[in-house]
Structures are given as C-alpha cells and as structure tokens.
Amino acid sequence: MKLSTVKLVTIQFFLLLFFFIFNSAQAEEELGVYEHLDEYISDDLMFTDELFNEVNLLESIDKPTIISLVYYECPGICSPLLNGLAEAMEKTDVVIGKDYQVYTISFSHTEKPPLARKKKRTYQKLVTQGDTDNYWKFFTGDSTNIHRLLDDLGFKVKKDGKEYIHPGTLIVLSPNGKITRYLYGSTYFLPFDIKMAVVEAAQGKSGPTINKVLNYCFSYDPEGKKYVLNITKISGSIILGLALILLFSMLYKGNKRKEPRFNNEETR
C-alpha cells in the first residue's frame, strides 16, 4: 500500500526544510575554525618578521609553538586576544624561549614589518619572564602565503570593508610543525591550558577541543565587537533535529500499519 498524498507532501516539506537549513549552515560555516589536528603546515611558507628577516615557518619551528592569527590594526578582538595571551604567558609555569615560542601572524597582506615591530613592543612589555625578544615573533606576509597558512590551519576569515570578521583562536604546533591543539578565546586564556598545550605539543600529542561547542553556539558581531549567542544557528539545529525525528516517526508508523494487513492476506 502506498503512502497517502498527505504523507508524501509532509515528507517533501521536511526534506526541503532539511536542505534549506543544511545549505544555510554550509554558507555560514565558511567563516570560523575547522580543526586540522595531526596535520602539518606546509614546508615552504615564507613570512617576514618584525626585523625584516625572511623566515620559513616550518624550518624555524624547533619547539612547541603557539600561533596567534590577528591583524595589527584590528579594532575588535585582536588586541584583547593578545592581551589575554600575554597575561596567560606571564602566569603559566612554562617559560617562553625555554619551553615554547609564540608566532603572532597578521592575515592582512597590507600590513608590514614596521607595524609588526610596533605591536611587538606593546605586548612584550606585558611578559616579564622568558625571552620575548627572540621567541615572540611578529610576522607579516604576502597574500599567497597568508592564504596557504590559513588553509593549513583551518582558519577562515572574511573581509568586511577595510576590516576582517574572524574567530579568536590560538593554535599550537609540535616542534616538527604538527597541529596539536586549538585554544578558543577572545579575552582570556587559562595559564593551565597554555601549559598543558605546550607540554602535550612537546610530546607530539594532540587532542579534541572540548570547548569547540562554544565556537558553534557563539559568533562574532563586528559592530558590537564581541561574541554573541548565535540564535539562528541554534534554532535551525533544533528545528532540523525535531523535523528529522518527526519524519522518521511518520515513516515508522506507516511501515508498522502495513505489517498486519500484509500478514492477514498471507494467511488467507
């Protein structure tokens, strides 16, 4: 026995709803972080540090490395992120230069070493322990190398006029350039998280990001310059889940009603 016309129309409606929400989510997911744990950065990425030195990123990594992706003239979360990173570096037990190094890299190809040097002087004053002169490097690069690095790290940004919409994330690499950890935040990082990320990176260990759900539920508001609860994404996920439950329930009930009739005809 075929499904009734009403059921067919209902199923078609839910299928259309599913594809609408799925396509909307796919479009929105172009901005954000897509973790590439256990993958390696490319071996030919060239960037310029604050002293105009051309550096091959992978070749320069010989200890656990924390990467902060920002742009130096950012009016939003980049400054709070670097302040939060510096505060955690100051409070953690591991020491920059001895246990790890930090690479702050601009994803705006228009920014140049003099601006990077100025930013370095600002933030290294916040860290009194360790060697920030040699092991907290501030880089700039051309658009090709920037895009390739962002792709390697799974870090998606969007140009909005003269500014960028982007996530707030630290990415930790092992001494051989393997991606081992993502630390999400915009104003504060736990010193313990920094320590554990460095210790595990030194051992080549990687692990899932427990607070990645926060990155899904919250999105950055460029006008308010803060993270806000993403009602659209959460509501869409809930509606999609309920729609799929209802759809499968209808299909199950329809199949269950068929069985007695089929059995009765068979016994005659």
- The per-residue DSSP string of 20-87 comes to HHHHHHHHHTTSEE---TT-B--TT-EEE-TTS-EEEHHHH--S-EEEEEE-TT-SSSHHHHHHHHHH
What SS3 state is found at 117? helix
Residue 226 has pLDDT above 50, yes or no: no
Range in 146-150, 199-203, 208-212 the model is least confident about:
208-212
Contact, 77 vs 182, CB < 8 A? no
pLDDT at 231: 53
Contact, 250 vs 11, CB < 8 A? yes
Percentage of the residues of the chain whose pLDDT score is greater than 70? 67
Confidence of residue 215 (pLDDT cuts 50, 70, 90): very low
Taking only the tens place, the pLDDT of each residue in 36-93 is: 999 999 999 999 999 999 999 999 999 999 999 999 999 989 999 999 999 999 999 9
Taking only the tens place, the pLDDT of each residue in 107-120 is: 999 999 999 999 99
46-48 and 54-56 as β-strands: parallel, antiparallel, unpaired?
antiparallel
- Angle (deg, nearest 10), helices 231-267 and 5-28: 150
Radius of gyration of the chain (CA): 25
Residues in contact with 17: Cβ distance below 8 Å, sequence separation at least 6, in sequence order: 239, 240, 243
Residue 153 has pLDDT above 80, yes or no: yes
Confidence of residue 186 (pLDDT cuts 50, 70, 90): confident
pLDDT at 102: 98
Max Cα-Cα span within the chain: 91
pLDDT at 149: 98
Confidence of residue 229 (pLDDT cuts 50, 70, 90): very low
> pTM for the full model?
0.71
Could you tell me which CATH number the domain at 34-229 has? 3.40.30.10
User: What mean pLDDT value characterizes the chain?
Assistant: 81
Cα-based angle 72, 137, 105 (whole degrees, multiple of 5): 40
Residue 4 has pLDDT above 80, yes or no: no
pLDDT at 187: 83
Beta pairing partners, 136? 102
Residue 148 has pLDDT above 50, yes or no: yes
Residue 251 has pLDDT above 90, yes or no: no
65-70 and 101-106 as β-strands: parallel, antiparallel, unpaired?
parallel
CA distance 263 to 179: 59
Residue 250 has pLDDT above 90, yes or no: no
Which sign, positive or negative, has the C-alpha torsion 202, 204, 207, 211?
positive
Locate the DSSP E strands across the chain.
32-33, 46-48, 54-56, 65-70, 101-106, 136-139, 155-156, 158-160, 163-165, 169-173, 179-184, 218-221, 226-229
Domain assignments of the chain as residue spans, ordered by start: 5-28+240-267, 34-229
Confidence of residue 243 (pLDDT cuts 50, 70, 90): low
Contact, 37 vs 259, CB < 8 A? no
